Amino acid sequence: MNPTGIGIDLVEVPRLRELLERHGQRFKERTFTAGEIAYCDACADPAMHYAARFAAKEAAAKALGTGLWAEGVVWTDIEVVREASGKPQIVLHGAAKQHAAGANCLVSLTHTRELAMAQVILA
């Protein structure tokens, strides 16, 4: 494996909980895919899981290059999915996929009630 990019991000869960309460479905649909929304909303504490996915999207953008947002990448171009085993995985769509040029994204997520963190390695 020859890494070509790395990104890390930390999100305060209460901050994301506030965004969800203030902007609700509009924020969810602008930032997360339908699959991410379905998964997070089914969890006992959705905000914690949304925060981890938000951190993963930020970390992936950093791994791919900090100018992505200006190059047409949108939040939903970076998706966190779960394998059957529960292992998280990043799936790139649209402009993010084109920018990655076939590279794979490895992701690790962790969260508590207060903080969510993600690390992404592009290889």
Active site members:
62, 111
Exposure string for 43-54, b = 16+ CB within 10 A, e = fewer:
eeebbbbbbbbb
Tell which phi-psi region holds residue 31, choosing left (phi > 0), alpha (psi between -120 and 50) or beta. Answer: alpha
Tokens, residue 87: 């292992």
